[in-house]
Amino acid sequence: MSTTDRAPVVIVGGGPAGSLLALLLHRAGIESVVLELRTREHVLERVRAGVIENGSADLLRSVGLGDRMDVEGLRHEGVNLAFRGQLLRIYFTGLTGRHVVVYGQTELQKDLYAAIDAAGVPLIDEAEDISVSGAETDSPTVSYLKNGVPRTIHCDFVVGCDGAHGITRDYVPAHRRVAYEREYPFGWVGVLSETPPVRHELIYANHERGFALCSMRNLHRSRYYVQGLAHDRVEDWPDQRFWEELKARLPEGPANDLVTGPSLEKLVTPLRSWVSEPMSHGRLFLAGDVAHVVPPTGAKGLNLAISDVFYLSEALSGFYSTGSGAGLEEYSTTALRRVWKAVRFSWWMTMMMHRFPGTSEDFDRKLQTAELEFLFSSESAQRSMAEQYTGLPF
């Protein structure tokens, strides 16, 4: 027994990108159905980015998602760079008039679920064996299993928001798809702890022993990272080793102020830059991590997903309101232009702040030193970093 349905837009993936796109389309009067492989609980358990760019925050507010973010989120008007025992604050607001908001992706996802539920947008979780047919035609279909029952949705457009391990990217023919990738020879060892942040703004540290990052989820819960080896395992980093290593990589002031505690969660994250082009094929469009992944150094992953779905919602709105497909035809080029700028910034931050093992280590270290000394001494360089960190315009 099978069931057939119809919807103008089918969105594969119910994370932030897919949920936000569904909400944007609803506000434009366009119906959609969201299919998510996992349960809602599983999606909410995923710990992800928490730095929201200025423009991303404005967009979220424009669709009614700003109330809790503005109350519970942390407004950051700057970020700190540590090098050779010194701490430099990049003052975003003074340099650009903008700021970022630290608001965990889990909290944003809760807000998105509440909003699409209130709007009556159908989100079908535990949708298994999702497949796409007819992307090259005017009437694609998406098939899946729900509780063992085969279902098919006929639609006008399919949007893949199903993440780095998603299936929708594979429906762009191999002969058209080009992947650009750079893997970094290290990973981040991350710890979540029920401790107050060491500073009220983030600290990125460049140290002889390797990179470190002091971040937070709220005023009582902190997120810390240290650079480890690419093949490290969580078991290689007991809490005592982690805290000792983090303290060693921080300037004296933050190191003395650091409050340690048992880790609530510990993970090792490999770093890579990766982009798949194009981000569309026929009536299939890709948004978010299914099309591009950046190292977390620049805090761009979630924000790129938000800009992608903004561009796509505008293009789909134009199609349904005027019949013009120009925006859809330009979507991949438009989105990739911003993607590559974010890839460059994330690469720059990663290259500047980490230790790179290998035969050119001494040369690379000299370049890092020159880059950081220039940044510490130049207001223009600091303004450039602030402009990119707080987010380029959509």
Instruction: Report the catalytic residues.
Output: 76, 204, 296, 300, 389
Which of 356, 349, 214 is CA-nearest to residue 294? 349
| Strand, helix or coil for residue 54 | helix
- The tokens describing 332, both together, are 């991949």
Q: How far apart are CA 298 and CA 389, in angstroms?
A: 7
Gap between the Cα atoms of 225 and 67, Å rounded? 30
Instruction: Output helix, strand, coil percentages for the chain, rounded to the nearest 5.
Output: 40, 30, 30
Whose tokens are 């700028």? That residue is: 341
Question: Residue 158 phi/psi, 5° resolution?
Answer: -120, 135
Q: How are beta strands 157-160 and 51-52 bridged, if at all?
A: unpaired
Q: Distance between CA 176 and CA 184 in Å, rounded?
A: 26
d(CA 251, CA 264) in angstroms, rounded, equals 25
Cα separation, 292 vs 276, in Å, equals: 6
Strand partners, 149: 146
Task: Tell me the C-alpha distance between 9 and 140, whole Å.
Answer: 10
